[in-house]
A and B are shown apart, each in its own frame.
Chain A
Amino acid sequence: MDLRKIGDNAWEIPKGDGMRVPAVVYASERLLDGFRRDKTLVQARNVACLPGIVRASYVMPDGHQGYGFPIGGVAAFDIDEGIISPGGVGYDINCGVRLLRTDYVEADIAPRRKELLAAIFREVPAGVGKAGVTKLSRAVLEDILLRGAEWAVENGYGRAEDLERTEEGGRMAEAAVDGLSDRALERGLPQLGTLGSGNHFLEIQKVLEIHDEATARAFGVQAVGQVLVMIHCGSRGLGHQVATDSIEALENAFGVAGLVDRELVNAPFKSDEGQRYYRSMAAAVNYAFANRQMIAHWVRRVFARVLGGDEGMDQVYDVCHNVAKVEEHEDGGRSRRLVVHRKGATRSFGPGRPEVPAPYRSVGQPVLIPGSMGTASFLLAGTAEAGALSFGSTAHGAGRVMSRHEALRRFRGERIRDDLAGRGIELKSTSWKGVAEEAAEAYKDVDEVVRVSDEVGLGRLVAKLAPIAVMKG
C-alpha cells in the first residue's frame, strides 16, 4: 500500500481507489509495523470511501484491525451529505472509562488492599453470565436508557457533581427507545450494574509519575502515590444487541451489494434508518453511563466501609471509547456540524471548548487511557491541536497483539496472579482462564501509544498510573 510519511509519527495513504479523502495514521515506526501486519490500513482506506466523509479517515496510535472500521478509527461525516454506521461505533457501545480520585495514599491502602478488593468483588457483580443485584422493570429500564447517569444519581447512586464530570453530562439527549428490540431490552434487564468480562476491569491505582503538575492539580491529582480508582466497562449485552439489530435493519433497508465489508453497512445520517440507529445507539450510551455510575457508587461505599471515608472520592472524568456524536468542528476556516465516529478512540477536546466541564475548561478535558490488566494506565489532557489533527480525538488503550488462544497456550492465570503479587499488585478474577487471556504480553505497549499521542499533540501526557489492586470480570 502507498503510505507516505507526512510528519513525525504521521503517515498518509493518499486519495485513490474510490477514496473520497486520504487516510491519516498517527504512529511511530514500531506501531506502524503492527498496523501493516493486520488489516488496519485496508480498513482505514475502506472508511475513506464512505459518503460524506470529511478531511480524512484517521487511525490513532493504538490502531488495530476491527470489524469494518479499524479500532482506533476516527471518521467525521457531513451532517447533511454523510452517513452513520454501526461499524464505526462498534458492538460495545460506550465502552468507556471512569476515573475517581481519592485523598488516600498508597500507604493507607497497601496493608488493606486484599480486604478492599474482596469487598469490591462482593459489591460489584462481574464475570460471564453474572446478573446484577438491581431488579429492574421494563419501564425503569426505558427511563435509564433515556436519562443515563442522571437516572442513577437521582436514585441514590453517586453525586450530582459526577454528572458534569462525565462526557455528555452522563446522558445523550438524542436517545429514544422505540427503535430497541425486545431482545435488546431483555439482555439489558439483568445486566445493569455489572462489570462484565473480557478486557473489562476495575483497578485501584496509584499515581506513579506526574508530567504536568498544574493540569494534574486541576484534575484533582496532587502527588505521586495518591490513590485513584479506574472503572472500565460498557453497555453489556444491550449495546451488542443494538449493534446487531441495527446492522440487520440497515442491510434489510439498503441491501449489501457494493459493500466491500458488510460491517461497513451505513445509512445517510438524516434518513429514518440513520436516525433510528443514532437514537438507539444513544440509548445504549446512556445505559453504559448509568452502569459506570452505579459501579462507582458501590466502590465509594466499599472505601467508606473499609477505610472509614469516601469524602475525597471525586470523579475525575468518564469518557466514551465507542461512540458517534454530532459535534462542531472547524474545517476549511468555517465551523461545521459533523457526525464524528470514534471506535476505540477517546475524545480529546482542548481548552475553551464548551463541552469541556467548567473546572477543566482552561486546561482541556481529562483523557483516560487504560493499559492492559496489571500494567500502567494514563491520564492525559485534551489539546487544541487535536481539533485539526483528528477532530479532537486520541488513543483509547493498548490494543491486542496476541490471540486469546495463543495467550492461553503461553500463560497461566494463577502464575500471572503470583507474578503481580510479587510486584505488590493484588489480582482477583472470576476466571483464571480470563486472566491468562488478558496477560499484559498479549497487548501493545501502551507507553509507546501514549508517547506518540503526546508527541503528535493528540493528547498531552499528565500522569502515569500504576495498579495496586485489580479486579477482572
Chain B
Amino acid sequence: MERYRTLPHTADGKFQAFGRTLEEAFGNAALALASLMWDWEALGPRVRRTVRVAGIDREQLLVKFLTEVIYLFETKGFLLGRVRGLRLRPRGGGFDLEARLEGETLADAHRLHGDVKAVTYSDLKIEEGDGFTVQVVVDM
C-alpha cells in the first residue's frame, strides 16, 4: 500500500497519507512530513523517542503529533525514520496519542533538502473510506 503522496501547492507543502487504520495513516503522515526534509528511508533505529500528545479532536491531534516531529528535529536534531506502536485512545471528548519514534541524530552525513516550519489546518482532511486518508498542508 502506498504510504503517502505529495501534492502540488503554490506556497507550501501538501501531502496525503494513507492507512488501513487511522493510526497507520497518522504514522505515514509523519513519514510524509519527514520526506519533505530528509530521506527517512535511509535511517536506522539508532535513537528512540516517545511522543505523547492530546487533542480535542482528531484534527488537532494530528497537527500536534506532526508538530512534535518538527520540534524534535529543531531542538534535538532528531531525524524520524520510523513510527512504531502508534496508539490513539479516546479521552474526555478528545483523543490521546502515543507513539515510539525511531531514527537518527542529525550529523554531517545526513543531507537535508527542505525546511518544514509549521503544520496548518489549511485544507486539512481526515477521511474514512476504504481505509483512512489524511491530508495536510505544511508551512515551508
A406 interface residue (CB < 8 Å to B): yes
A65 interface residue (CB < 8 Å to B): yes
Residues of B within 8 A of A66 (CB): 11
Q: Within residues 103 to 130 of chain B, which ones have a CB less than 8 A from any CB in chain A?
A: 106, 112-115, 117-122, 124
Q: Is the CB of B75 within 8 A of A402?
A: no
Q: Indicate which residue in A71, A186, A252, A431 contacts B71 across the interface (CB closer than 8 Å).
A: A186
Q: Is the CB of B10 within 8 A of A65?
A: yes
B35 interface residue (CB < 8 Å to A): no
A190 interface residue (CB < 8 Å to B): yes
Residues of B within 8 A of A196 (CB): 115
B interface, size bucket: 35 or more
B21 to chain A, nearest CB (A): 24
- Mask: chain A, 121-140; 1 = CB below 8 Å from B; 0 = not: 00000011100000000000
Q: Within residues 30 to 76 of chain B, which ones have a CB less than 8 A from any CB in chain A?
A: 37, 56-57, 59-60, 63-64, 67, 70-71, 73-75
B92 to chain A, nearest CB (A): 11
Q: Within the assembled complex, what's the spacing in Å between the Cα atoms of A434 and B119?
A: 20
Q: Within residues 15 to 71 of chain A, which ones have a CB less than 8 A from any CB in chain B?
A: 38, 64-68, 71
Q: Is the CB of A256 within 8 A of B115?
A: no
- Contacts A128-B112, A186-B75, A251-B60: A240 and B117 contacting too (C-beta < 8 A)? yes
Q: Within residues 209 to 237 of chain A, which ones have a CB less than 8 A from any CB in chain B?
A: 237
- Contacts A261-B121, A262-B59: A183 and B71 contacting too (C-beta < 8 A)? yes
A422 to chain B, nearest CB (A): 26
Q: Is the CB of A405 within 8 A of B37?
A: no
Q: Is the CB of A400 within 8 A of B10?
A: yes
Q: Is the CB of B10 within 8 A of A402?
A: yes
Q: Is the CB of B75 within 8 A of A38?
A: no
B103 to chain A, nearest CB (A): 14
Q: Is the CB of A128 within 8 A of B63?
A: no
A198 interface residue (CB < 8 Å to B): yes
Q: Within the assembled complex, what's the spacing in Å between the Cα atoms of A406 and B71?
A: 28
Query: How many chain A residues touch B (Cβ–Cβ < 8 Å)?
Result: 45
Q: Indicate which residue in A38, A71, A129, A403 contacts B74 across the interface (CB closer than 8 Å).
A: A129
Q: Is the CB of B11 within 8 A of A65?
A: yes
Q: Within residues 88 to 129 of chain A, which ones have a CB less than 8 A from any CB in chain B?
A: 91-92, 127-129
Closest to B11 in A: A400
Q: Is the CB of B74 within 8 A of A187?
A: yes
Q: Indicate which residue in A64, A247, A248, A255 contacts B10 across the interface (CB closer than 8 Å).
A: A64
Q: Is the CB of A190 within 8 A of B75?
A: yes
Residues of B within 8 A of A402 (CB): 10
Residues of A within 8 A of B139 (CB): 67, 91-92, 240
Residues of A within 8 A of B70 (CB): 237, 240
Q: Within the assembled complex, what's the spacing in Å between the Cα atoms of A405 and B64?
A: 25
B24 to chain A, nearest CB (A): 24
Q: Within the assembled complex, what's the spacing in Å between the Cα atoms of A401 and B70?
A: 26
Q: Is the CB of A431 within 8 A of B113?
A: yes
Q: Within the assembled complex, what's the spacing in Å between the Cα atoms of A248 and B77?
A: 25
Q: Within residues 396 to 417 of chain A, which ones have a CB less than 8 A from any CB in chain B?
A: 400-406
Residues of A within 8 A of B60 (CB): 248, 251
A425 to chain B, nearest CB (A): 24
Q: Is the CB of B57 within 8 A of A256?
A: yes
Q: Is the CB of B63 within 8 A of A244?
A: yes
Give me 23 A-to-B residue pairs in the complex whose CB atoms sit less than 8 angstroms apart, sorted by A's number. A64-B10, A65-B10, A91-B117, A92-B139, A129-B106, A183-B71, A186-B75, A187-B71, A240-B117, A240-B139, A241-B67, A241-B71, A248-B60, A251-B56, A255-B56, A261-B122, A263-B121, A402-B10, A403-B9, A404-B9, A405-B6, A433-B113, A434-B114
Residues on B lying within 8 angstroms of A by beta carbon are 6-13, 37, 56-57, 59-60, 63-64, 67, 70-71, 73-75, 77, 106, 112-115, 117-122, 124, 137, 139-140
